[in-house]
Amino acid sequence: MEEQTVVLIVGAGPAGLATAACLTQLSIPYVIVEREDCSASLWRNRAYDRLKLHLAKEFCELPHMSYPADAPTYIPKDQFVKYLDNYIERFDIQPKYQTAIESCSYDEVRKCWFSMARDMTTSVVVRYTARFLVVASGENSAENIPFITGFHGFAGEAIHSSRYKSGASYSGKNVLVVGCGNSGMEIAYDLASHGANTSIVIRSPVHVVTKEIIRLGMTLVQHIPVNVVDGLLVRLSNFVFGDLSKHGIVRPKLGPLLLKAKTGRSAVIDVGTVSLIKNGTIKVLGNISKIEGNTVEFEGRKASAFDAIVFATGYKSTANTWLKNGESMLNDDGLPKQEFPNHWKGANGLYCAGLAKRGLAGIAMDAKNIANDILSSYHA
């Protein structure tokens, strides 16, 4: 089977949906394919129960549709999924689900992208021909678990944070969380709140802020230089939390907003974890050196036994496994070569949405840029 379209969008997460909506607004035909059986599978199937959007709703809207007036400032997971469902309905987006792109390459002669897609329910292969290709398969497509000596021999339960739902089943157990980003810190809090004996590995410097502080920063930075805003945010955070270095949490040298801009690493928005670390309910541990049975040994030869380990160690892009001729845009890790805000466009009608580690606000910018750029050459 063969299908022709102007634009092929790979991935029906928020980035793919936002791009589809922007193309719809400009009356540009497209096809959107998704390997899972639903849109935004990360949010529906791989997010823990207590998750809310970490940023205020004004920084988390997709293009051309606001949240309902009565939506809370910080949107819970289920309400965000409902917003996406309404978004799909509003713009009549019809993803082809359970359709996995197996290869995609550019034909220099015909000046188009050839994609081989497999219907995962029937195994039928469809060939898509498109003038433009949008990689929207996400920076969160595959679990990332670091190599640890003895990991495969761990006697307890080891899961990635994408499979963690709630701490209810871990009450009374010794649980280690590896990773101190927003997911790791919130999962540690959730575990401790459910009565698990919780420890967390904090391997690198991290900014800890409140949601109010980061909202203030993101509002001020639209009017004031980022280094001035960062200085204020750090002082406010020190005032709220005090010196956390004695508890194993060290601040990075770069301020929170500049660090996000340069590296994509977000500040941690505290949900109550810090007070549990301060009172000893949650223990902070250093790097893991090895695992033997159910015993985890840390640097400095300290060792403890655990019933479970949750790896909140992030994800990786899988775009390079199927995209050939993508080297104009993506590096070996399947992420943009160019820095924000010039990351979204490659050669020969190739684009990426949602790969710049800029959250939902970055996705909205990418989608608008891509649709407008396609419009300018679509009629050329």
Q: Higher model confidence: residue 46 or residue 197?
A: 197
Q: Which residues, at least 6 apart from 12, have a Cβ–Cβ distance to it below 8 Å?
A: 32, 33, 34, 36, 39, 40, 93, 95, 97, 136
Query: What is 2-141+317-379's CATH topology?
Result: FAD/NAD(P)-binding domain (3.50.50)
Architecture of domain 143-311: 3-Layer(bba) Sandwich (3.50)
For the chain, what is the radius of gyration of the CA atoms? 22
The Cα 150–Cα 206 span in angstroms is 27
Q: Residue 380: pLDDT above 80? A: no
Q: Residue 273: its pLDDT value, please?
A: 97
> Edge to edge, what strands does the sheet with 282-285 contain?
157-160, 308-311, 174-178, 197-201, 282-285
pTM of the model: 0.89
Looking at the predicted structure, is the pLDDT value of residue 341 above 70? Answer: yes
* Domains 2-141+317-379 and 143-311 fall in the same CATH topology: yes
Amino acid at 318: T
Statement: residue 37 has pLDDT above 70: yes
Count CB neighbours of 213 within 10 A: 23
Under 8 Å CB-to-CB from 210, ≥6 apart: which residues?
A: 237, 240, 269, 270
Share of the chain above pLDDT 70, in %: 99
Give me the torsion for CA of 219, 71, 237, 191, rounded to 10°.
-150
What is the structure's pLDDT at 333?
86
Q: Which two tokens stand for residue 90?
A: 């509003």
The pLDDT tens digits of the residues spanning 84-102 come to: 999 999 999 999 999 999 9
Q: Domain extents for the chain? A: 2-141+317-379, 143-311
Of 139-143, 224-228, 278-282, 332-336, minimum mean pLDDT range: 139-143
Taking the C-alpha atoms of residue 103 and residue 108, their distance in angstroms, rounded to an integer, is: 16
State yes or no: pLDDT of 226 exceeds 70: yes
SS3 at position 245: helix
Residue 163: strand, helix, or coil: helix
Grouping H, G, I as helix, E, B as strand and the rest as coil, residue 221 is coil
Classified as helix, coil or strand, 16 is: helix
Provide mean pLDDT across the span 221-250: 96
| Beta strands 112-119; 268-269: pairing state | unpaired
The CA distance from 20 to 146, in Å, is: 35
